[in-house]
Structure 1
Amino acid sequence: MHPLRPAGRPPTGASRRLSLRVSTRIVAALAAVPLLALAACSGGADAATDADAGSTAATGSAATELRLGYFANVTHAPALVGVANGLFAAELGDTALTTQVFNAGPAAIEALNAGAIDATFIGPNPAINGFIKSDGESLRIIAGSTSGGAQFVVRDGIDSAADLKGTNLASPQLGGTQDVALRSWLTEQGLENSISGGGDVTITPTENAQTLQLFQDGKLDGAWLPEPWASRLVLEAGAHVLVDEKDLWDDGQFLTTHLIVSASFLAEHPETVEALLRGTVASVDWLNANPGEAPAVVNAEIATTAGKPLPDEVIARAFTNITFSVDPLAQTLPTLLAAGVTAGTTEDASLDGIYDLRLLNTVLADAGQPTVSSAGLGQE
């Protein structure tokens, strides 16, 4: 079975120091947020024991600052809209918002572990790795964000897995979600690949903008990429889609982006985390209610963070491949873990406790929206 394919679906056939673009905005106070006595799960073994026993962690206070990470990708549209439309700022009130833009998930996890950011929108596999490597102490997944929007695009002359032998491919970063998807899919096709190099296919983790240029220069044969980069290679560089990742999943639903927070920040500032979640729900709701306006807003924010906007046809194609929801699709996480193990970027371990959806479900219930499930992998 393909590690990216849920059971029952028929087959369908490093450098950690990547460049980091930083964008900082300090948002002025808009309104005071009332102090709430909310329970939150603290990091560490004691917190996990308390959660299993059904007890609650100590109440914290509002933070003076929230340092939030995300990527300048269409798959991070809820983050881009939350910043651009002031939805996060409106909910955070007296808490200042500082943002930092990353190229890929492993770099964001490093920043979270180093205490440089408090929360980040990120793909699932780096979050899984961060949780496992810290023995469950470093982070919690607190909401979903985006489903879909990842494709394996290749040059002319490559029309099947057999044509990939001897090719040079790229992914955004070793251990990132698209890197895992590429490696596990190649393994299923019988093509040897290794995180240390060599094999039937060479995979070089490469910053997305460089991937586009290298592909245009004929130095790369293909890449597994999130949106808008898959669309950019197709529309600007003549690539075609070999694998649309949605075809590997039941109902075409697969997790591309979710929201995680430092376990210690969640324990100390549950009020601030709840405010961030209110902003996230508002952003997702706005995207789904304004499909005509959303691409332009997202594109303008990409221009702010990345230096220039995307061509209209690129942003339009990218939006057709994605959906937005705060449901974290928790039932898919074990499959993503298995893919990481197959890819050689993740060790097999328990994911129990990785979710804390209590604050999200409070926000959803208050808004009259359906609550979401942790699929038995945490609190809800």
Structure 2
Amino acid sequence: MMAGCASAAGSTPEPEDVTEVRLGYFANVTHAPALVGLEEGLFAESLGDIDLSTSVFNAGPAAIEALTAGAIDATYIGPNPSINTFIQSGGESARIVAGVATGGAALVVRPGIDSPQQLVGTTLATPQLGNTQDVALRVYLAEQGYETDPSGGGDVSITPTENAQTLTLFQQGAIDGAWLPEPWVSRLVVDEGAEVLVDEAELWPDGAFPTTVLLVRADFLEEHPDVVERLLEGHVAAVHWIGDNAAEAPGVINAAIEAETGKPLSDPVIERALEHVAFSVDPHAEAFETLVANGLEAGTQKDGSIDGLFDLRILNGLLDTAGAEQVSAAGLGEDSP
């Protein structure tokens, strides 16, 4: 993909035609619109003659690295890595263009740990240092009076670990629990007998907290808004498809997870996971100032402004055309189509 072409001094460069969009996502239930959009051909339909290539990531920081390097153009990702890249780049790196999912994250522990007071001296995993679940765990532990540090020291040892490896370590008894997104929460609960100590929904007003958003490189959005609109058409269609096909959705999502991981989830796992996640194009921008405060408290991000993080104009244009309610940037960007 070419971002643009050189021009004579004083003239405006004309972007070259886009022939491919490079999209990142995770093989998680919290990224189900990406999985459904691919499985059901909704992105292919909306993008038309533009090819779609995909990259699968385990956690947000790795996806951000690819986005920053220009290896991908957009990615489904958690809110905290989105905040981090925006602040670290001085607002130049990327924009959130839509919401994806809320809920679907929890702290699960081995049987016998029944209260936060029993966490001292334990070892807990998160998907990656600085990702959304990692920040949530560090803030929760601080609120319980525990000290942690990025190197794994403190009253509770936090070991950022790939989700599949976390499952193995829990099976082996090498860790005591983990703060994870779905379907990994349900895999540990249903398949391995873990218990939920903290459902993150309990920590947020009305139980609604953003788990996944759709993030686009700022320069790609500026140069190719028409292509981003077509990508968003596929995303909106995928969110609606999940809502309209409750009976079929578990099978479609599970087939996509099997394609990426080599193994499907059991029916009880996929069903439990979907019970704990809600899908919406609303990014819940009103929660992001709290997420910034959490990241600072956890010591995993720099201080800075997130004014301008959201650009919901294209999304709201699509929603307006469809006669649907528009979503708000909560004063943290643009949202008028």
| TM tier, smaller | over 0.9
How far apart are the structure 2 equivalents of 1:139 and 1:265?
Answer: 9
CA contact (8 A) 1:186 1:192 kept: yes
Picking from 278, 292, 305, the partner of 1:350 is: 305
Determine the structure 2 residue equivalent to 1:186. Answer: 141
The reply on whether 1:269 has 2:199 as its aligned counterpart is: no
Change (3 A) 1:354 1:223: same
Indicate conservation of the 8 Å contact 1:62/1:272, yes or no. no
Name the amino acid aligned to 1:116: A
Q: Scaled by the length of structure 2, what TM-score is found?
A: 0.94
What corresponds to 2:289 in structure 1? 334
Q: Distance in 2 between matches of 1:366 and 1:265?
A: 24
Query: How is 1:1-380 mapped onto 2 (pairs within 5 angstroms)?
Result: 63-380=18-335
Unaligned runs of 5+ in 2: 1-11
C-alpha displacement of 1:196: 2.4
Mark the runs of 5 or more structure 1 residues left unpaired by the alignment. Answer: 1-56
* In structure 2, distance between residues paired with 1:288 and 1:139: 28
SS at match of 2:95: strand
Deviation track 1:304-356 (CA, whole Å, cap 9, x = no partner) reads: 11111111110000000011100010000011111111110012211000000
What is the distance in 2 between the residues matched to 1:299 and 1:209?
16
Moved >6 Å (runs of 4+): none
Question: Shift of residue 197 of structure 1?
Answer: 2.6
The structural deviation recorded for 1:268 is 1.2
2:6 paired residue number: none
SS of 2:215's equivalent in the other structure is strand
Report the Cα distance in structure 1 between the residues aligned to 2:105 and 2:175, rounded to whole angstroms. Answer: 18
Structure 1 residue 172, shift from structure 2 partner: 0.2
Q: Is the 8 A contact 1:59 1:267 kept in 2?
A: no
- Separation of aligned partners in 2, 1:299 and 1:189: 36
CA distance in 1, matches of 2:329, 2:102: 16
TM-score relative to the length of structure 1: 0.84
Q: How many residues align?
A: 324
Local SS of the residue matching 2:136 = helix
CA RMSD of aligned residues (A): 1.2
Name the CA shift for 1:61/1:253 in 2 (closer, same or farther; >3 Å): farther
| 8 Å contact from structure 1 (residues 58, 267) kept in 2 | no
What do the CA deviations read for 1:249-278 (whole angstroms, capped 9, x no partner)?
A: 111111000000000110111111000101
- Residue 58 of structure 1: how far off its partner (Å): 9.0
Specify the code of the residue in structure 2 equivalent to 1:239.
A
Contact kept, 8 Å, 1:60 with 1:267, in 2: the verdict is no
1:60 deviates by: 5.4
Q: Relative to structure 1, is the Cα distance of residues 58 and 294 closer, same or farther in structure 2, using a 3 angstrom cutoff?
A: farther
The percent identity for this pair of structures is: 64
CA distance in 2: counterparts of 1:151 and 1:234, whole angstroms? 11
| Aligned-partner Cα distance in 2 for 1:100–1:62 | 22
Judge conservation of contact 1:59–1:270 (CA < 8 Å) in 2. no
SS, match of residue 133 in structure 2: helix
Q: What's the secondary structure of 1:285's corresponding residue?
A: helix
1:286 corresponds to which letter in structure 2?
A: W
